Amino acid sequence: MPKKSRRQRIAKAASLAALRLGRYRGDGAPPIFVIGSGRSGNTLVRRVLTASGEIYIPPETYVLGEIIEIWPRTALLPWREQVWLFCAYFEKHSEFSTFGLTNLDDFAARAVALPAAERTLRQLIDAFYLHLAKAQDAPTGRWGDKTPYNTHHLPAIGTLYPEAKYLWLVRDGRDVALSYVEAGLYPDLLGAADRWTRANRACLSFARRGLDVRQQGYENLVTDPETAFADLFQWAGLEFAPDMLTILPGPMGDVEQRRHHEKVRRPISAASAGRWRGQLKPADLSTLPDDFWQVMHALGYATEGAQT
């Protein structure tokens, strides 16, 4: 990836500084961001967390991180136009249908009418998640986000939400790459492995910022789910009960519409952990680059299959 120019670095620093000025310092329950590579148990975690009835996590939002990054550039726009731009980012995305909404007209009307003191990006985002929760008759006291694309925007998200909890899901990169290809999300193993590598490199860097980042192994979640989720819920400040592992929530949007999520409603199983051993050949593994194996090592996975 090419290095950023000095002008780009200055612009980035200025944007982060502007976000710091607008962040919220209240006492409410912090949001939870599920971060990391896709195909790492993200949607399973969303299912179990929402089963608590204490938090609402919508389908993947895709554009939230991008909105946060560009927001300082909208400072000179009237509030009404800022709201419209915010809504357009979501409505024009190809995955908007997973929210189960025709449009965001009602949300926009209420957001435009917010009192002047509440016209901030934080207030707008909170109102947006509240709107999504109400549309699903879901609990609205606390929200979370489960969007793997957020790994592209973690510095900006962390700057706006320094008090948030960040659940970094980690899974063996060989299993992730295999899953990406089998789901049709990447055409080849190399591209899928690169996505896993970049996502986890971003999380490794983000975890050094001193925020509340919890690294959680997928393998632990599926081999001993009761223990792993009980610990996770305690960290998140949520009440856990074993039946949450089997409760199936109502419509989840992307789960019903996207084939690659079809296993989420099945009982939790460790069958997918280590599948690469029976599916990937030594020749497949030899195509994976050094940086993939470096991240595997950094995350504590045995680098079986790496070229020496």
pLDDT tens track, the chain, 308 positions: 455 566 655 555 555 555 555 444 445 799 999 999 999 999 999 999 999 999 999 999 999 999 999 999 999 999 999 999 999 999 999 999 999 999 999 999 999 999 999 999 999 999 999 999 999 998 778 999 999 999 999 999 999 999 999 999 999 999 999 999 999 999 999 999 999 999 999 999 999 999 999 999 999 999 999 999 999 999 999 999 999 999 987 777 676 657 666 787 789 999 999 999 999 999 999 999 999 999 999 999 999 778 65
Contact 170, 40 (CB under 8 A): yes
Q: Which residue has the tokens 């900006």?
A: 156
**Would you state the pLDDT for residue 26?**
44
Flag whether 4 is in a domain.
no
Segment holding 17, helix H or strand E:
helix 6-22
**Would you state the pLDDT for residue 17?**
57
Distance CA 107, CA 132 (A): 9
Beta strands in 61-171 (DSSP E): 144-146, 165-170
Flag whether 1 is in a domain.
no
CA separation (Å) from 241 to 93, 138, 139, 244, 245? 36, 19, 17, 6, 8
Which token pair is 290? 């050094």
Flag whether 307 is in a domain.
no
Distance CA 123, CA 142 (A): 13
**Would you state the pLDDT for residue 229?**
98
**Would you state the pLDDT for residue 264?**
72
Contact 52, 73 (CB under 8 A): no
Supply the CATH number for residue 62's domain.
Answer: 3.40.50.300
Q: Which residue has the tokens 């990937």?
A: 280
Beta strands in 88-208 (DSSP E): 144-146, 165-170
**Would you state the pLDDT for residue 251?**
74
Flag whether 155 is in a domain.
yes
Flag whether 303 is in a domain.
no
Q: Which residue has the tokens 């029976």?
A: 278
Flag whether 2 is in a domain.
no
Flag whether 19 is in a domain.
yes
List, in sequence order, every residue forming a beta bridge with 170; answer none if it has no partner.
Answer: 217
Structural domain for 17, as ranges: 10-298
**Phi, psi (degrees; rounded to nearest 5) at 34:** -90, 115
Flag whether 177 is in a domain.
yes
Please tell me the total count of domains within the chain. 1
